Structure 1
Amino acid sequence: MVIQYYHEHSNHMGLMHVLSLMREKVWVIKGHAAVRRVLSRCVRCRRAHGKVIEQLMADLPLDRVESGKTPFYRTGVDLFGPFFVKRGRAQIKHWGVIFTCLNMRAIHLEVASNLRSDKILSVFRRFLARCGQVKTVRCDCGTNIVGSWKFLDSSYEFLAGNKVRNELLGCCDIAIGGHSKQRWKQVKHMSEQFWARWKREFLLGLQQRQKWFKERRNVRVGDVVLMVKENEARCHWPE
């Protein structure tokens, strides 16, 4: 009760200030621990100074540690910008689109003149024409990207429903001449060397976590929490 009184009387100041005010009148045995215990249960102080909940960083997904695949076989995509481009006397907005290989961290850049889904599809088509087919694409939930993927899904369902299949590769016999065969062996050897160095030099460096080292207790039903909003002051965060 005494510690609580001085803590509220000092307008919820910190440990040392509350302890110094209290010792002007009384001396509490093991005062540091007692004041710290009271301050840790103060709802107003926890709201003002509580730390954001963290959890142990998860292991990397298989997409990041799988070897032996072609560049951009598994790809991440995001948009950045806008950038202002001068056209005549007017300035127009353009956005950058970055594609990154999830395995070897190669980067491919494209430019989008607007954020409509049809323009994102055009950017993705140019990326495929230059870098080849991909198996997995990871992105955020932007409406333009989600709209593009929905259009691709609906197109695929339409083609599958009409039993349209691409059988060209299965019907072709590929003949490899002497020079082409030697070139193919050389490229294969260089690819094996690259992936061997990738495992030895790059993959091991991904094992070290940069943050979130400890496993914490998860939020449970009945816990009083604050929802973090980065663009608002802490006193305005909703409970």
Structure 2
Amino acid sequence: MSPLPADRVQQHRPFKNCGVDYCGPFWTHYKIRGKRPHKVYLKVFCCFSTKAVHLEVVSDLTTQAFLAALKRFCGRRGLPAKIYSDNATNFVGAYNELSEVKEAIFAEEAQALIHKTCANLSIEFKFIPPRAPHFGGLWEASVKSAKHLLKRTLYTATLTHEELETIVIDIEAILNSRPLTSVSSSPRDLTALTPGHFLIGEPLTASPDIHQSRRRTGLLTRWKRIEQLRKEFWTRWSHEYLHELQNRSKWTRSCKTVKIGDLVIIKEDNIAPLNWPLGRIVAVHPGKDGEIRVAEIRTTSGNITRAIHRLAVLPINEKKEKTDL
């Protein structure tokens, strides 16, 4: 297991580095008799540092709707520096209901438009390797939580677009109020650090203080006070919560890895019986720690990129070497 990426452990403002994913579809109804319901989707943004969640209702899976939701997100959360997204093959393999995303967002023309728009906003847009959804496990967990809450809410409900928007924002508040770590070790302290602390400076469920001082304070003084509180939250985050993320529960030992020239079997989804996709590794992409986790394979239909857990190395070369000896 590799160390956490630098974007996960640095003290950035919320949503400076984030991941994005889709879930759905969901149905919205009109208050007009005989009018058919409309299919909508949910776009999920997850902050890398604080695990805060931002949810956007998207009317369709066109590139224009994707960019419109991105602009709404930037207008409320600020411009991110990096946005990570799944690859098209992850949607087709894991989300059958989102197969339309392949044509709407991951087509060459759509990707060019997305990259151009993000470049104009100084945003770096990155795609994780194909067939490797575990590379985006952080935002996949947020999608799972949002879908779980939505399905429980919408099980028998017929909602309008406005009602769905209200429920989605309520679910966003629920996810941003989940506890991350304890604020102090005192047995009498029942408060916990939440993503809401980094968004508004206190839990989203906190009651407004009616005993605030009536003394006038300038905007600059108030801004300095908010910055002081924010630094305290980041100090607690780095001293308590960050250490919990460093635990490695599996893949603690190195094993034999792939190398250029290896003949491999490629694990693909929905392959017909008696069909064994083969390829030859032509390039490897080591991580910052030197470990190889992604490789480029030459196949009969062209070069593809896959994570190494989708590859099975054939021991033909080893047998040949032993024979030569």
TM-score, scaled to structure 1 = 0.60
- Please tell me whether the aligned partners of residues 66 and 103 of structure 1 are also in contact (alpha carbons under 8 angstroms): yes
- Please tell me whether the aligned partners of residues 94 and 114 of structure 1 are also in contact (alpha carbons under 8 angstroms): yes
Task: From the superposition, tell whether residues 126 and 153 of structure 1 become closer, same or farther in structure 2 (CA, over 3 Å).
Answer: closer
* RMSD over aligned Cα atoms: 2.6
What are the ranges of 5 or more consecutive residues in structure 2 without an aligned counterpart? Answer: 89-101, 123-215, 279-325
1:200 deviates by 1.6
Give, as a single letter, the amino acid of the residue that structure 2 aligns with 1:98. Answer: V
2:10 pairs with 1:66: yes
Specify the alignment match of 1:186 in structure 2: 225
Measured in 1, the distance between the counterparts of 2:9 and 2:16 equals: 12
Measured in 2, the distance between the counterparts of 1:192 and 1:133 equals: 21
1:221 deviates by 5.0
**1:42-69 Cα distance to aligned partner (Å, 9 max, x none):** xxxxxxxxxxxxxxx22221111101x2
State the identity as a percent.
Answer: 32
Specify the alignment match of 2:51 in structure 1: 105
**1:73-109 Cα distance to aligned partner (Å, 9 max, x none):** 1111111112222335313221110011111110000
1:207 deviates by 0.8
1:208 deviates by 1.3
Measured in 1, the distance between the counterparts of 2:247 and 2:58 equals: 36
Task: From the superposition, tell whether residues 182 and 234 of structure 1 become closer, same or farther in structure 2 (CA, over 3 Å).
Answer: farther
Specify the alignment match of 2:75 in structure 1: 129
Task: From the superposition, tell whether residues 229 and 205 of structure 1 become closer, same or farther in structure 2 (CA, over 3 Å).
Answer: same
Q: Equivalent residues in 2 for 1:216-235 (5 A)?
A: 216-220=255-259, 223-232=262-271
What is the number of equivalent residue pairs in this alignment? 163
**1:159-206 Cα distance to aligned partner (Å, 9 max, x none):** xxxxxxxxxxxxxxxxxx952233122211211110011012211111
Whichever structure has more strand as a proportion of its residues is 2
Task: From the superposition, tell whether residues 230 and 205 of structure 1 become closer, same or farther in structure 2 (CA, over 3 Å).
Answer: farther
Q: Equivalent residues in 2 for 1:146-185 (5 A)?
A: 146-152=111-117, 178-185=217-224
**Please, which of 190, 214, 236 is the counterpart of residue 197 of structure 1?**
236
Larger Rg: 1
1:150 deviates by 2.8
Task: From the superposition, tell whether residues 231 and 200 of structure 1 become closer, same or farther in structure 2 (CA, over 3 Å).
Answer: farther
Task: From the superposition, tell whether residues 72 and 222 of structure 1 become closer, same or farther in structure 2 (CA, over 3 Å).
Answer: closer
**1:117-174 Cα distance to aligned partner (Å, 9 max, x none):** 11111000110111112111111234516344233167579xxxxxxxxxxxxxxxxx
Q: Compare relative contact order (CA 8 Å, sep 6+) and give the higher one, 1 or 2.
A: 1
Measured in 1, the distance between the counterparts of 2:118 and 2:81 equals: 14
Give, as a single letter, the amino acid of the residue that structure 1 aligns with 2:27. Answer: F
What are the ranges of 5 or more consecutive residues in structure 1 without an aligned counterpart? Answer: 1-56, 158-176
Measured in 1, the distance between the counterparts of 2:235 and 2:119 equals: 40
TM-score, scaled to structure 2 = 0.45
Whichever structure has more helix as a proportion of its residues is 1
2:29 pairs with 1:86: yes
